[in-house]
Structure 1
Amino acid sequence: MLINDGLVRARGVRYATASRFAKPEPLAWDGARPSERGPACPQPPSALAALVGNSVEGLSFDERCQVLSVTAPADASGLPVMVWFHGGAYVTGSGESTKYEASLLASEGVVVVSVSYRLGVFGYLRDNLGLLDQLTALRWVRDNITAFGGDPANVTAFGQSAGGDSVYALMLVDTENLFHRAILQSAPLGTRSPERAEMTAALRSSISVDESTSVEDALAAQTAAVTEVGPKFPPSGGMPFAPVLDDVDLTAAASRVELLVGHTADDGSPYVPSREHWEAVTELIFAGGARELARDWAAACGQVATYTFRWAPADAPLGSCHCMELPFLFDPDGWRGAGMLAGQEPDPVLAGTMRSLWAGFARNGMDALPSRSLEFGG
């Protein structure tokens, strides 16, 4: 356990274990608060490394990557809990990344939990195993977070990119009231097209991986299949691995989860070569899906607010691109040198405003927001 600057940190706490292609088996917590970061799921290099840097630098890799980290005020008691699900297109990243250091966010009076889960072929080739990992982590929070001063009856799930898409899926499948508010940041909801089920079937038939396949060969098979299958199923092929959901009915989720959903102004810019195209991708994959979800949530009598993040470094070639809001929520030291920042620092005033609003929403929901339509920067 680490205690520094009035905060308690526990790294790499194991919430479950699983053999390859097996469902997670929950692990009872023994009260230990380790200080070493846990492993990341085996993965290929990130397609956005030039933009955001190496999100798994310094981490080990292991298929048994069901770990979480907790950051909490040392004197915490009954504080709201924020559970973070990282992005990376369901194929890269880790909740143990130094990029998700949550000291500044926790200092807003919340307990922050960062979750790692299985990715790619290990998590989504069969049976939504990565999603089951995430549900198991939320149950760990329910059962154990009081030991860190968190309130299990006031939990917010939040995530960015594939992590935001994870929160969307979790809202629909959670029947245990494991969380009560949700923040979806740049969730690629536009990839949830009718073609996704067909594409998933095509991936499963083209990837020959079993329990005896080496990790290296499994990742090579994953890469080859994505290269072959993904382009055949636009726009779903932009994120080939993801939870496969049954017919979506928002009614139950909207009745129990307060929702904040939004995107960056130029989310699509890293994926296409011209401004004309990046505006189209932003709308198709990110902005349009966020607006549609907000409308549907309200129509289902749910409480919902939206946001747009517009801040961009001066002369930044990709504008307010995908991931740009992350250095404003998490400690900026982990983002130094990220290409998207063009050598500049996040605006500290705006960063403080965002962290305060995110923590306020976790504490008091819609009552903490100054508007149901928020704008940051720009």
Structure 2
Amino acid sequence: MVAMERVIATDAGLVGGRRGRGRSISWRGIPFAAPPLGENRFRAPQPAPPWRGVRECDEYGAALIQEKYLTLTTPLKLQPMSEDCLTLNVFSRDSVPSALRPVMVFIHGGGFLMGMAATPIYDGTHLARTQDVVVVTIQYRFGPFGLLDLSDYATAEQPFETNLGLRDQIAALRWVRRNIAAFGGDPDNVTVFGESAGGTSVLALLASPAAKGLFAAAIAESPAPELIVDRATARVIADEFLRLLDDPARKPGAPHGAGPFPGGRARELLARASGDDIHGAGKKLMDFAQKTDIGVFLPLAPIVGDDILPQSPLRAAHAGTTHPVPLIIGNNREEGALFSRFFDLTPAVEKTVRALAGTDGDEAIRGVYRDHKRDRSRLSGDFLFWGPTSVFVDGHSAVAATYHYRYDYVTRLLKASGFGATHTTEMLAVFGSLKTYVAGFLAIADWRSVSRLVGEVQGRWAGFARHRNPGTDWPAYTTDDRQVLIIDDPSRVDTDPDAGRREVWRRLHSAAVG
């Protein structure tokens, strides 16, 4: 077996990797775009400047500015933070392949408010080594750095583009297309996958004209298809952001007698504000969205109505205009259990249901969810994730092979905690983290079962990435039979599980997008 070269040539310069455990190798912190600083702040990603010599890529790049505790990589170590965050990481077996390996590009989650590639559960080593694929994990701008619509304040000399976070993801995919063959990966066999906000990003990429041809398959884990902001609302949010940036003592949503925020002042503020100032004003937008009736409860999300995302992913799927690439998509059985411990989504649920279908919709929801704690938790999870996802599945399955799953697996500790198969728990199987020290405590007394689960999930995901086959026992979903893989130990195929709840959401969302 011939070891891979440690130093690889990219289109910007030479990068040096690090050999790791189990005959693996990785390159971490490779810039795929120029630092979004100075003139590049609030701009579409620009080409990475070339460098001379070998750039040693043995550590993750800086995380985007967010709350410090969210950047923990060990109980005692924080990842550095910076606006200069547009880097990616490549993981592979440490051997020269006989044929180019399938490539799996991962987009992290975090509600478009947080997250980083350095989070330990996203280490691609185990998945790359056991499944003989090349894993790429990327970073992108989120929150106020990447999801504000500042175009009203742009000039020819100081332009501001929209949907910077999605543009970053597209730039990373273009980097992969240009460079991944040098790392042993096949640029014509790229699967993009992501979880939560990353899964939502995958659906946005499926609906984005700019992403056409950049990936051959997609996997969306626990997406929130309606975590979007329309262009008119985004402009209201941008105006409020600038007022908060201009006056740190301002209460979010406080009335003002002025007209639109002055363009000159806006450009001055956006140029000279510190990263911490921008982050601080962005945090206050959460209060603004809760106190005012702007129609969204998360104000910073992909913006619908520009060249990157002309229509929402749900509308694109309903219209049959998503990119016709094979898709794995699904949710966890108890998505809402994680969120119900920290905040109550009931007001947002009720407001959205009324907006979707008025009183009739409210009555339909009450007909399938009871008022006890478990159903309120399930309603929140279905509202954010499963309900709209089931509608997306119906649409996309008409244009490409679509494999639908529900993740039910729980360890004894997760069950005892009351979380069950909640949001994010499937990630521990996808990356093999349940078998590492990072999350190994969750697998106490379940090692054999966990080993089976990790092997199954990784095998299905990689089999799909390699030749679009997630297993002969997993049939493609159609609206005629609605077959869903229930991932558990053992897994099974079920026909239209939770049909009553699904039908309620189908009626609500189909009426809205139609």
Question: One fold, TM greater than 0.5?
Answer: yes
**2: CA distance between counterparts of 1:334 and 1:262?**
27
- Larger Rg computed on CA atoms: 2
Shift of the 235–357 alpha-carbon distance from structure 1 to 2, 3 Å rule, reads farther
Q: What is residue 266 of structure 1 aligned with on the other side?
A: 334
Q: What is residue 18 of structure 2 aligned with on the other side?
A: 2
Shift of the 369–27 alpha-carbon distance from structure 1 to 2, 3 Å rule, reads farther
Is the counterpart of residue 184 in structure 1 residue 204 in structure 2?
Answer: no
Shift of the 216–175 alpha-carbon distance from structure 1 to 2, 3 Å rule, reads closer
Shift of the 153–110 alpha-carbon distance from structure 1 to 2, 3 Å rule, reads same
**2: CA distance between counterparts of 1:168 and 1:114?**
17
**Deviating 4+ runs (over 6 angstroms):** 28-31, 342-346
- The 5 Å alignment of 1:286-325 reads 286-299=385-398, 301-314=399-412, 315-325=416-426
**Contact kept in structure 1, 2:109 and 2:199, CA below 8 Å:** yes
Measured after TM superposition, the shift of residue 200 of structure 1 is 2.5
Is the counterpart of residue 225 in structure 1 residue 285 in structure 2?
Answer: yes
- The 5 Å alignment of 1:248-267 reads 248-250=315-317, 251-255=320-324, 257-267=325-335
Shift of the 294–134 alpha-carbon distance from structure 1 to 2, 3 Å rule, reads same
**2: CA distance between counterparts of 1:42 and 1:369?**
44
**2: CA distance between counterparts of 1:212 and 1:252?**
41
**Contact kept in structure 2, 1:44 and 1:91, CA below 8 Å:** no
Shift of the 201–334 alpha-carbon distance from structure 1 to 2, 3 Å rule, reads farther
Q: What is residue 155 of structure 1 aligned with on the other side?
A: 190
**1: CA distance between counterparts of 2:234 and 2:86?**
24
- The 5 Å alignment of 1:344-359 reads 347-359=450-462
Measured after TM superposition, the shift of residue 304 of structure 1 is 0.5
Q: What is residue 103 of structure 1 aligned with on the other side?
A: 125
Q: What is residue 204 of structure 1 aligned with on the other side?
A: 238
Q: What is residue 43 of structure 1 aligned with on the other side?
A: 66
**2: CA distance between counterparts of 1:36 and 1:54?**
15
Measured after TM superposition, the shift of residue 357 of structure 1 is 0.6
Q: What is residue 200 of structure 2 aligned with on the other side?
A: 165
Structure 1 residues 120-129 or 324-333, which shifts more?
324-333
State, as a whole percentage, how many aligned pairs show the same letter.
29
Letter in 2 for 1:242: A
**1: CA distance between counterparts of 2:401 and 2:294?**
32
**Contact kept in structure 2, 1:171 and 1:253, CA below 8 Å:** yes
Q: What is residue 371 of structure 1 aligned with on the other side?
A: 474
Shift of the 225–334 alpha-carbon distance from structure 1 to 2, 3 Å rule, reads farther
**2: CA distance between counterparts of 1:287 and 1:367?**
21
* Secondary structure of the structure 2 residue equivalent to 1:279: helix
> Unpaired segments of 5 or more residues in structure 1?
none
**Contact kept in structure 1, 2:432 and 2:454, CA below 8 Å:** no
Measured after TM superposition, the shift of residue 197 of structure 1 is 4.3
**Contact kept in structure 1, 2:460 and 2:470, CA below 8 Å:** no
Measured after TM superposition, the shift of residue 344 of structure 1 is 6.9
Shift of the 45–236 alpha-carbon distance from structure 1 to 2, 3 Å rule, reads farther
**Contact kept in structure 1, 2:285 and 2:299, CA below 8 Å:** no
Letter in 2 for 1:78: L
Shift of the 25–253 alpha-carbon distance from structure 1 to 2, 3 Å rule, reads same
**1: CA distance between counterparts of 2:273 and 2:444?**
42
TM-score norm. by structure 2 comes to: 0.66
Shift of the 362–122 alpha-carbon distance from structure 1 to 2, 3 Å rule, reads same
Shift of the 365–343 alpha-carbon distance from structure 1 to 2, 3 Å rule, reads same
**Contact kept in structure 2, 1:98 and 1:334, CA below 8 Å:** no
- Cα-to-partner distance string for 1:204-228 (whole Å, 9 max, x where unaligned): 1210241211222211111111122
Letter in 1 for 2:82: D
TM-score norm. by structure 1 comes to: 0.89
**1: CA distance between counterparts of 2:291 and 2:443?**
31
- The 5 Å alignment of 1:14-163 reads 14-17=31-34, 18=36, 19-27=40-48, 32=55, 34-44=57-67, 54=72, 57-75=77-95, 76=97, 77-107=99-129, 108-126=131-149, 127-163=162-198
Shift of the 232–370 alpha-carbon distance from structure 1 to 2, 3 Å rule, reads farther
Q: How many residues align?
A: 366
Aligned mate of 1:213, from 264, 273, 285: 273
Measured after TM superposition, the shift of residue 337 of structure 1 is 7.5
Structure 1 residues 205-214 or 22-31, which shifts more?
22-31
Letter in 1 for 2:205: L
**1: CA distance between counterparts of 2:78 and 2:175?**
26
Q: What is residue 159 of structure 2 aligned with on the other side?
A: none
* Secondary structure of the structure 2 residue equivalent to 1:348: helix
Shift of the 7–182 alpha-carbon distance from structure 1 to 2, 3 Å rule, reads same
Letter in 1 for 2:429: F
* Secondary structure of the structure 2 residue equivalent to 1:8: strand
Shift of the 254–129 alpha-carbon distance from structure 1 to 2, 3 Å rule, reads closer
Letter in 2 for 1:325: E
Letter in 2 for 1:160: E
**1: CA distance between counterparts of 2:81 and 2:194?**
22
Structure 1 residues 151-160 or 67-76, which shifts more?
67-76
**Contact kept in structure 1, 2:28 and 2:57, CA below 8 Å:** yes
- Cα-to-partner distance string for 1:52-81 (whole Å, 9 max, x where unaligned): x94695311111110000001122341100
Measured after TM superposition, the shift of residue 345 of structure 1 is 6.3
Shift of the 309–232 alpha-carbon distance from structure 1 to 2, 3 Å rule, reads farther
Measured after TM superposition, the shift of residue 249 of structure 1 is 2.8
**1: CA distance between counterparts of 2:171 and 2:294?**
32
Shift of the 114–29 alpha-carbon distance from structure 1 to 2, 3 Å rule, reads farther
**Contact kept in structure 2, 1:258 and 1:366, CA below 8 Å:** no
**Contact kept in structure 2, 1:157 and 1:182, CA below 8 Å:** yes
Letter in 2 for 1:241: L
**Contact kept in structure 2, 1:71 and 1:103, CA below 8 Å:** yes
Shift of the 29–167 alpha-carbon distance from structure 1 to 2, 3 Å rule, reads farther
Structure 1 residues 307-316 or 343-352, which shifts more?
343-352
* Secondary structure of the structure 2 residue equivalent to 1:3: strand
